[in-house]
Chain A
Amino acid sequence: MADTILRVDALSKNFGGVRAIRDLSFDVAAGEILGLIGPNGSGKSTTVNVLAGLLPPTSGSIVLGGQSIERMPEPQRVAKGLARTFQTARVFPEFTVRQHVTIGCHPIRTVNPFASILPLGAASVDDDETAAHVDDLLRLCSLASIADRPVGGISSAQQRFLMIATALAARPRILLVDEPAAGLVEHERQELAELVRGIRKRGLAVVIIEHHMALIMALCDRIVVLNFGSKIAQGTPAEIRANPAVIDAYLGEAA
């Protein structure tokens, strides 16, 4: 594929004797929504953590936009265009929503933070561009009305959207979202689905881990299924739903 953004090849991760990921390979294209599903403990979150650089891989390669990143530290991968959110809400509770998204702009800002200590140049172009970018993301993620509220005081569903807005602030090419719908009610899940489609419309690739099957099936172009750290299936939602191995390992007869 010409527009492959992320290529994962023969990726493995061992924790001592436990093989959390085994020989995993898949591609993600620009504008694609890829689902990553599987039973608890099948290695989905570990995969995200290895891709994002929180954990080093035991072997295998990760290529982002033609460049090997598997040995790159986490912050540098963000600068190269790979952003992620966490399964549990991880936020800066004392910041306002706007501050929270603004600090996420760090990798794309042109002025060095240390230059902001001495108040020499007043409002710079960098500040204005950043503010406009943040406003855009607050609207995209339905956070504009609570922009000035402290993050510790907003609902956990709003915090989940905030994590996505903050990840998007660095203008990534690919976004990894780890169980974004956990704890959301039906209408919030709909909003989330709209948001993910909106992100895709902007040309980003999205890798989404989720247990809510209706959401995954409705949203994804392709799905990769993991079990015991290995890929057991890959295909369109229809193909996955009909795959006997997936039904056996994860979906069950009812799906």
Chain B
Amino acid sequence: MNRPLTTLVWLLAFTALAMLPQVLSVKYYLHLSILALIWVIVAQGQNLIQGFTGYVSIVQAGFMGIGAYGSTLIGIHFGWPIWATIAAAPLITALFALLTGYPSLRVKGHYFAIVTMAFNLIIVIVLVNFRELTRGEAGISNIPKPWDGDRDAYFYLALTLAAAMTLLAALIARSRVGEILRAIRQNEDLVGAIGIAAWKYKLFAFVISAMYAGLAGALYAHFQGFINPEIFGVAQSLDAILAVILGGTGTIAGPVIGAFLVVFLPELLRFADSFRLILYGLILVLATIFMPIGIVGVAKTVLARLHRPGARHDG
């Protein structure tokens, strides 16, 4: 697709989303939409490290937890306003990502995935056991919500931040940094041989992806008003990976679509009652096997095929 058309599609999608609070009669769906927008931020971050750089990280939910607990605890102990604690969350998460990224990024492929998963497990273990600070498995409730818990207002906050983070991901993707990240995914040995210190860019992608997750975690905490360690486990990190794969790895629209899928799909399958999660798992497995390029990837292929006969003469 050419640039003006792509921009138009994005504007239409944004407008449609912005109208959701007016058109959704079931308030539960608005609730799910806010969660989905928060997951858009997580998935965009995940896509930077997994989709563009080719390093599958399994610690995104752990980083969400650091952002969520960080924002909440700073609010409780230092009395900062909500805005300040949400803004601080990605910075705290970045610090953790810098410390964990250096050892993790020394290994490649499956080893990187396993090391990051270990970090996610450690984060949960610390959250469970450091009771004096985190109140353990019981979690923290009554976390302050902005606008007295006005859901419509929070929807627009989440929408604005999800859009801004998507725009930032697009800017990174089309910059020279994005090009280097894609080069690392294609052939990391060659990246070093042509004079690029790959570790710098890998660490950048990892830290930025963590900042995305940290911001999303803080948004989650002040939306739900309650957090506990279980929410930020490895299972949720896998959801971030699935959102990227289902939507379309290495695309900008993919994580948006994927995030809505991983939030809404389990709910839409409620009719299947206790078979719900089995059905969800089955859909994910089949989609990953038969549609590894994701929904956006399939759409692009179809569009390219439709366009080929007529639109080739300008190239």
> A residues within 8 Å of B by Cβ?
52, 54, 73-79, 83-84, 86, 90-95, 99, 103-104, 106-107, 113-114, 116-119, 148, 166-167, 169-170
Given contacts A107-B194, A107-B196, A117-B177, 20 further A-B contacts (CB under 8 A): A52-B193, A73-B197, A74-B195, A75-B192, A75-B197, A77-B195, A90-B189, A92-B186, A93-B186, A95-B186, A103-B179, A103-B183, A104-B194, A114-B175, A116-B176, A117-B171, A118-B171, A148-B315, A167-B194, A170-B195
Which residues on B sit within 8 Å (CB–CB) of A83?
194-195
CB closest chain-A residue, reference B180: A113
The answer for the CA separation of A77 and B193 in the assembled complex, in Å, is 9
**Are B171's CB and A169's CB within 8 A?**
no
**Are A169's CB and B177's CB within 8 A?**
no
**Are B196's CB and A75's CB within 8 A?**
yes
Which residues on A sit within 8 Å (CB–CB) of B189?
54, 86, 90
**Are A86's CB and B193's CB within 8 A?**
yes
The answer for the CA separation of A118 and B196 in the assembled complex, in Å, is 21
Give B178-208 interface residues, CB cut-off 8 Å to A. Answer: 179-180, 182-183, 186-187, 189-190, 192-198, 201, 204
B175, chain A: closest CB distance, angstroms: 4
**Are A106's CB and B196's CB within 8 A?**
yes
The answer for the CA separation of A154 and B315 in the assembled complex, in Å, is 17
The answer for the CA separation of A79 and B198 in the assembled complex, in Å, is 14
Which residues on A sit within 8 Å (CB–CB) of B197?
73, 75-76
**Are B179's CB and A99's CB within 8 A?**
yes
**Which 4 pairs between the two chains have the least Cβ-Cβ distance?**
A78-B195, A107-B195, A113-B176, A116-B175
The answer for the CA separation of A104 and B195 in the assembled complex, in Å, is 8
**Are B183's CB and A92's CB within 8 A?**
yes
**Are A103's CB and B171's CB within 8 A?**
no
**For the complex, is B143 an interface residue (Cβ under 8 Å from A)?**
no
Which residues on B sit within 8 Å (CB–CB) of A91?
187, 190
The answer for the CA separation of A76 and B195 in the assembled complex, in Å, is 6
Q: Which secondary structure dominates chain B's binding surface? A: helix
The answer for the CA separation of A15 and B189 in the assembled complex, in Å, is 20
Known: A92-B183, A95-B183, A113-B180. A106 touches B195 (CB 8 A): yes
CB closest chain-A residue, reference B190: A90
Give B97-150 interface residues, CB cut-off 8 Å to A. Answer: none
Which residues on B sit within 8 Å (CB–CB) of A86?
189-190, 193
Which residues on A sit within 8 Å (CB–CB) of B172?
117
**Are A106's CB and B194's CB within 8 A?**
yes
CB closest chain-B residue, reference A108: B195
Which residues on B sit within 8 Å (CB–CB) of A117?
171-172, 175, 177
Which residues on A sit within 8 Å (CB–CB) of B177?
113-114, 116-117
28 contacts between A and B (CB under 8 A): A74-B192, A75-B196, A77-B195, A83-B194, A84-B193, A86-B189, A86-B193, A90-B193, A91-B187, A92-B183, A93-B186, A94-B182, A95-B183, A103-B194, A103-B196, A104-B194, A104-B195, A106-B176, A106-B180, A113-B175, A113-B201, A114-B204, A116-B175, A116-B176, A117-B172, A117-B175, A148-B315, A170-B195
CB closest chain-B residue, reference A109: B176
Which residues on B sit within 8 Å (CB–CB) of A119?
171
CB closest chain-B residue, reference A172: B195
**Are A75's CB and B176's CB within 8 A?**
no
Give B69-95 interface residues, CB cut-off 8 Å to A. Answer: none
Determine which of A84, A90, A106, A113 lies in contact with B187 in the assembled complex, contact meaning CB atoms within 8 Å.
Answer: A90
**Are B193's CB and A78's CB within 8 A?**
yes
Which residues on A sit within 8 Å (CB–CB) of B198?
75
CB closest chain-A residue, reference B250: A94
Known: A92-B187, A95-B183, A99-B179. A166 touches B171 (CB 8 A): no
A98, chain B: closest CB distance, angstroms: 12
The answer for the CA separation of A169 and B172 in the assembled complex, in Å, is 23
Output the residue of B172, B187, B196 with the most chain A CB within 10 A: B196
Output the residue of B182, B187, B194, B201 with the most chain A CB within 10 A: B194
